[in-house]
C-alpha cells in the first residue's frame, strides 16, 4: 500500500473517531429509533433521490413535484430529531470539505500558478 493510501486510511479512521462524526451517528441513531421520525426521514430521502434521478436523466421536474418536495422539507425541518440530524450532517460535510480543500491544494497551486 502506498504512503498516500495509508494516509487516506488513517484519515478515514480519524473521521470515524471525530466529534462531528460521532454526533452525526448519535443523531442518526435517534432518528432511526423513533418510528415517526424514521418514516418522515425515509420519505424525505426518497423524495430527494427521485428528484435527483430525474435531474440526472434530464427529465423536467414538475411544479407539483417541487411543491411536494418543499412540503416534505418543511415537515422534516420541524421535527427536532431530524433537524438535529441535518445539522450534524452539515458539520460532517463541512469537515470533509475542509479536508478536500487541504488535499487538493497541490493541484490548485499547480494550475493556479500559471
Q: What is the pLDDT along the chain (114 residues), one digit of tens a residue?
A: 899 999 999 999 999 999 999 999 999 999 999 999 999 999 999 999 999 999 999 989 899 999 999 999 999 989 999 999 999 999 999 999 999 999 999 999 999 865
pLDDT, residue 113, reads: 65
Q: Which domain holds residue 25?
A: 3-112
Predicted local confidence at residue 114, as pLDDT: 58
CATH number at residue 50: 1.20.1500.10
Number of domain units in the chain: 1
Q: Which three cell numbers stand for residue 18?
A: 471525530
Amino acid at each position: 500500500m502506498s504512503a498516500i493510501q495509508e494516509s487516506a486510511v488513517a484519515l478515514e479512521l480519524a473521521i470515524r473517531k471525530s466529534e462531528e462524526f460521532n454526533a452525526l451517528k448519535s443523531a442518526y441513531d435517534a432518528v432511526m429509533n423513533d418510528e415517526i421520525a424514521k418514516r418522515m426521514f425515509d420519505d424525505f430521502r426518497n423524495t430527494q433521490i427521485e428528484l435527483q434521478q430525474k435531474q440526472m436523466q434530464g427529465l423536467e421536474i414538475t411544479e407539483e413535484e417541487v411543491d411536494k418536495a418543499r412540503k416534505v422539507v418543511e415537515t422534516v425541518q420541524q421535527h427536532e430529531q431530524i433537524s438535529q440530524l441535518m445539522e450534524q450532517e452539515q458539520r460532517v460535510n463541512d469537515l470533509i470539505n475542509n479536508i478536500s480543500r487541504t488535499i487538493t491544494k497541490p493541484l490548485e497551486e499547480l494550475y493556479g500558478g500559471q
